Amino acid sequence: MSKLRTDHSQWDESALRRAVDSAGIALWSWNVDTDDFDMDERGFALWSVAPHEDLTFEHLSEKVHPADRDRVRAAFLATRAIVGPYEIDFRTLIGKKVRWISARGTGSDENIVRRVVMGVFLDVTGRKQAEESSELLAGEMSHRVKNLLTIASGLARITSRSSSNVTDMAAQLTHRLTALGRAHDLVRPLPGSQGDAALLGDIFSVLLAPYDDKGAFAGRIRIAVPRMGVGEAAAASLALVVHELATNSLKYGALSSDEGLLDVSGCVVADKVRIIWTEHGGPEVAPPSEGQEGYGSKLVRNTVQGALGGSINYEWSKAGALVTLEVKAELLAA
C-alpha cells in the first residue's frame, strides 16, 4: 500500500504562480473597511485598468454592465455573511465590448485576515456565449417545430376535404409536407446581419427542380427574381403557394406537356414584391367555373392574402396560365 505524500515543499510561490497563470485565474483582494480593491496583473488586464492604479470596489463596479451592477454590488456585500465558498457570474461593459466574469471566493468574516477578503476572477465569456447559443438554438427549434405542427394540422384538414380516398389524401399531404420541408432546409443565416432567411430565387429553384427534371422538360423552367431574403414564416407560406401552382400546372398546364415552358420573374414595386408566373406551350386552359374553385386554389388564395398580406390574380389564355402574385415586402422577410 503506497504512502500518502505529505511533502509539499515543491509548492513554492513560483510554482503556485505558474499554476494560477496556466488556469487563467486573476487574483483580487478587497479591504472591507476602506473599500480598497487590489488585483494582480491579469486582473488589471481583465478589467482594462491601468496596472497599480488606486482602486476601490465602487470604482471597479462602474465597469460592470449596468444590467448587472446592482446585483453584483449586493452580492459582494452579502459575501461577508456567507459561510463557505461562493460564486457569482456577471458581465462587464468596457467601451462596446461585453465580457463575462466569474468571481469566486470564500465568505464569512470569521477567518478574515487584516480585514481583507480574497478571491479570484475567471474570464468565462466563451462558456457563456456557448450557453446562450445553445439556449437560442433550443428556442428556435421549439418555435419551428410548433409552427410546422400548426401548418401540418391545417394542411391535413384542407387535404382531407379535397381527397376522394385515403390513398389520394396521403399522396397529396405527403407532397405538400415535402414542399414545406424543402423550404425549411433553405432557411439559414444570411450575410450582412440580414437574419435567418432563404433567398427568394432558391425557394423557386429548389421547389421547381423536381418538375424541371422530367425527361424532355429538363431545362424549360426559367427563374429570374430579385435577390432578397425570405423569412422562415414567409418561406413556409411561399412554399405552399409554389407547390400548388406547380401541381396545377403539372395536371393541366405547361408542366403537363413536353413542349411547355414556365417563366417565373419578379420585381419590387414600392413596398411590394411582384412575382409573375407565366406558362407557355401547354394545353389550352380554361378558368374554373364560378363557385368551382378547388381546395388547392383556396389554400393558395388564403395563404397569399393572409400570411403574405398580398393578392393573386389569374389570367387564362390559349398560350397558358398567367398568375400574378403581389406580396408585402416586409411580410416576405418575416
- Asked if 222 and 215 touch (Cβ cutoff 8 Å), the reply is no
Rounded to an integer, what distance in angstroms lies between the CA atom of residue 39 and that of residue 30? 9
pLDDT at residue 316 in the model = 85
Average predicted confidence (pLDDT) for the chain: 77
- Asked if 46 and 123 touch (Cβ cutoff 8 Å), the reply is yes
Eight-class DSSP state of 52 = T
Q: What is the pLDDT of residues 104-132, one digit of tens each?
A: 877 666 666 677 778 889 888 888 887 77
pLDDT surpasses 60 at 322: yes
CB atoms within 10 A of CB 93: 16
Distance of CA 235 to the CA centre of its chain: 14
Q: b vs e for 22-52, b when ≥16 Cβ sit within 10 Å of the residue's Cβ?
A: eeebbbbbbebeeeebbbbebbbebbebeee
**Half-sphere exposure for 214 (CA within 13 Å, toward CB):** 15
pLDDT at residue 132 in the model = 75
Question: Is 24 strand, coil or helix?
Answer: coil
Closest CA to 85 of 114, 36, 120, 33: 120
Amino acid letter, 306: G
pLDDT at residue 5 in the model = 55
Q: What is the pLDDT of residues 161-217, one digit of tens each?
A: 556 777 877 776 776 667 666 666 665 555 554 445 678 888 888 878 766 655 444
Length of the chain: 334
Sign of CA dihedral 192, 264, 234, 184: negative
Closest CA to 236 of 324, 123, 332, 104: 332
Phi, psi of 21 (to 5 degrees): -65, -45
Residues 6+ apart with CB under 8 A from 95: none
Across 212-232, average pLDDT: 74
Q: What is the CA radius of gyration of the chain?
A: 33
- More confidently predicted of 137 and 228: 228
Strands 25-31 and 36-39: antiparallel
Domains of the chain: 13-123 (3.30.450.20), 128-332 (3.30.565.10)
- Asked if 131 and 102 touch (Cβ cutoff 8 Å), the reply is no
pLDDT at residue 326 in the model = 93
Q: What is the pLDDT of residues 60-74, one digit of tens each?
A: 888 899 999 988 888
